[in-house]
Amino acid sequence: MAFENVEGIKVISHQDNRIFLIGDYFSVYEGDSRVPVIYEWTDVKSVTENKHGFIFLMQDDSLYKIGKTLINGVSRQLKLRAIVEGNIAKYPYIEHRHQKRVLPAKTHYTSCDMPSRAYSSKGVYNEKEISYSNVTLLNIRLGKLFIVVGIIITLAAFLFCIFVIKDVALNLKYYIPISVFCGVIIAMFIYIACAIVAKYIYSSLAKVDVTLDQEITFVIAEEGFSAIETELHSGFDLVRWDEVAYFVETNYVFIIYKNKRAVFWLPKRLFTKDRQKEISNFIAARLNQK
């Protein structure tokens, strides 16, 4: 099982008068009872993580809420997430919902042997590489739309000049560059709007994704890849290559996709130029590049 090396944690909820022990099992002490209610992970129906906490729905319809304010420190929150998602990876029929993240959800990981060949580095994400790459990806998706919009604006401006301003014979040599200029300007405004949206996306992520402030250990190996908080990294948990679809390379990052969603961002600045080329070829030998 993925993340089986993570120690279980204890959470006390004075408001509900409950004590939770979460590890190999999900156990709950109610009130003053010395006998816990013990659930195996097969007894869990769904888990939801939102900005306020974790919500567990059991097969017997019992509902348990663990607020993040009860879990002292980011480290313990990340441990709880790893335990929960490691078990969900083992039992994928458990429904799972969470907010947007930069790191791959730990439900994608499986436990592997120690990689025989790997590129590894440690670092922290920064706004520039995430925001700029979001703009690049948006432009890749909407590039044709930008061209179409630019052409439509150019034609509209040209027709406006012809039918409204008129004097075609006298001013035709001015109408063409003016129309093209209008099309280019509108396309540039769209690009700027995309940049603003990308910055907003990062800012909203930074508010809910505590891992953006954590040191991450990145691994690219024969067996798969990983981006895991360094304090949780063991070297044995990887996302296998056959679990993902393709990758995109920007000026700042390598991005791997699954089901048209980015699940892995590898900052290129963590490696030398020569090593970046090696990694690009290494990934390309396993995934299609777009």
Residue with tokens 């600045």: 269
pLDDT in tens, 181-219: 888 888 788 777 777 776 676 666 666 677 878 899 999
Q: Residue 221's closest CA among 288, 282, 290, 284?
A: 282
Q: What is the pLDDT of residue 72?
A: 87
| Residue carrying the six token digits 């895991």 | 228
> Taking the mean position of all CA atoms in its chain, how far away is CA 195?
18
- Would you mind telling me the total number of residues written for the chain in this entry? 290
Helices (H), the chain: 74-90, 127-160, 168-208, 273-284
Residues of the chain with pLDDT under 70: 138-143, 166, 168-171, 198-199, 201-208
Say what the pLDDT of residue 207 is.
Answer: 64
Q: CA 32, CA 29: separation in Å to the nearest integer?
A: 8
pLDDT of residue 170: 67
pLDDT of amino acid 209: 75
Q: Tell me, what's the pLDDT at 204? A: 66
Q: What is the pTM of this model?
A: 0.79
Q: Please tell me the predicted confidence (pLDDT) of residue 224.
A: 92
What pLDDT, on a 0 to 100 scale, did the predictor assign at position 208?
67
CB 43 within 8 A of CB 197: no
Residue from 125, 143, 138, 127 nearest 266 by CA: 125
What confidence score (pLDDT) does residue 227 get? 94
- Give the per-residue pLDDT at 178: 82
C-alpha 128, offset from chain centre: 16
